[in-house]
Amino acid sequence: MKMYKNFNKTDIEALSEKQRELKYNINASYLQDENGDDWYDLQKTFQPDTFKVMFDEKNTVVSIARDASTLFPLNCNIVELDSLPEGAENNGEWIFDGHQVVRGT
């Protein structure tokens, strides 16, 4: 299980020259996790057949996707899971308990 936490916008000073150019030319946004790892680089570490679950600071599931590139985890966390319980969705009723997605109480 891969988990990356606390994504925030990357400070402009931390961007490479190419990233700065993209930011100014097409308004690209960059995120990094609490360890300073770039979101676009981290996407390459996920397996294609797993679920990527985005959850907020209260552990509420915000989004579920197989394709990590469809997620933008600003102020959120991402965990990669092999499976999900039947019916799991991002309707505010599901949480990540630190190990798996479960229905909230």
Q: What is the pLDDT of residue 14?
A: 72
- How far is residue 4 CA from its own chain's centroid? 7
pLDDT tens-place string over residues 46-57:
999 999 999 999
- Segment 22-45 shows an average pLDDT of 85
pLDDT tens-place string over residues 66-88:
999 999 999 999 999 999 999 99
Per-residue pLDDT for 25 more than 80?
A: no
So where are the chain's domains? 3-103
Q: What is the pLDDT of residue 24?
A: 66
Comparing CA positions, the residue from 98, 37, 90, 39 lying closest to residue 61 is: 90
Find residue 15's DSSP bridge partners.
Answer: none
